[in-house]
């Protein structure tokens, strides 16, 4: 059974930092593409980043470049989203997702088959 479990969300002041974790199981981790997405209240879910170990490819959305970064620990089957200089507009539920069959390097959500339950990030003073 494919499982994706996010953690690390919370309340942080503007300018602060958080690190989100996504622990994956139930599939060949190195072959998959893992994406991070977020959804603010009343808005569409948007792609934040993706990482594909076998593809040797990683990218971030323009809105978070220079502030967010992605890292992977293949032994722990975990993908991290390091978020710095957080802004109120970064508030939302953050999800990780996986492409397992024929993965492509993209943050388009339609390509992702499996999703975690999400973790809330709130940036507020």
How do residues 46-93 score in pLDDT, each as one tens digit?
999 999 988 888 899 999 999 999 999 999 999 999 999 999 999 999
Question: Phi and psi at residue 87, in whole multiples of 5°?
Answer: -120, 155
Calculate the average pLDDT of the chain: 95
């Amino acid at each position: 059974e494919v499982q994706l479990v996010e953690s690390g969300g919370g309340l942080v002041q503007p300018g602060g930092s958080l690190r989100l974790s996504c622990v994956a199981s139930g599939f060949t981790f190195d072959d998959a593409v893992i994406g991070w997405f977020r959804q603010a209240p009343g808005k569409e879910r948007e792609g934040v980043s993706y990482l594909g170990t076998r593809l040797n490819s990683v990218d971030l959305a323009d809105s978070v470049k220079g502030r967010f970064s992605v890292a992977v620990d293949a032994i722990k089957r975990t993908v991290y989203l390091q978020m710095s200089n957080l802004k109120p507009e970064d508030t939302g539920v953050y999800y990780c997702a996986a492409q397992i069959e024929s993965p492509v390097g993209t943050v388009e959500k339609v390509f992702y088959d499996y999703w975690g339950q999400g973790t809330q990030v709130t940036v507020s003073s």
